[in-house]
């Protein structure tokens, strides 16, 4: 089984909902990804986990 590690978030990565710095990466079960700032991660995090997304914080 081959697994890929997503690249580390940098200060240039922006939230997909606003222009703030991304703090959370949501890896969707379909293979897509979404980046969220802290505010939008709190707003959408529970629903994303409910649908099976894996949330990983920025180091």
- Residue 34 pairs in a beta bridge with 26
Question: Residue 46 domain-assigned?
Answer: yes
Question: Residue 24 domain-assigned?
Answer: yes
| DSSP calls for 19-40 | SSBP-EEEE-TTS-EEEE-HHH
Question: Residue 15 domain-assigned?
Answer: yes
Domain count across the chain:
1
What's the confidence (pLDDT) of residue 1? 64
Q: Which residue has the tokens 């949501």?
A: 26
Query: What residue numbers bound the domain in which 29 lies?
Result: 10-59
- The whole-model pTM stands at 0.81
Q: 13-25: b or e for each residue (b if 16 or more CB lie within 10 Å)?
A: eebeeeeebbbbb
Q: By three-state DSSP, how is residue 57 classified? A: strand
Question: Residue 31 domain-assigned?
Answer: yes
Question: Residue 4 domain-assigned?
Answer: no
What's the confidence (pLDDT) of residue 10? 80
The pLDDT tens digits of the residues spanning 20-56 come to: 999 999 999 999 999 999 999 999 999 999 999 999 9
Question: Residue 1 domain-assigned?
Answer: no
Question: Residue 53 domain-assigned?
Answer: yes
Question: Residue 5 domain-assigned?
Answer: no
φ/ψ of 33, rounded to 5, equals -140, 150
């Amino acid at each position: 089984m081959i697994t890929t590690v997503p690249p580390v978030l940098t200060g240039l990565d922006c939230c997909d909902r606003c222009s703030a710095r991304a703090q959370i990466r949501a890896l969707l079960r379909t293979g897509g990804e979404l980046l969220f700032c802290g505010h939008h991660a709190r707003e959408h995090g529970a629903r994303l986990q409910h649908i099976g997304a894996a949330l990983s914080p920025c180091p």
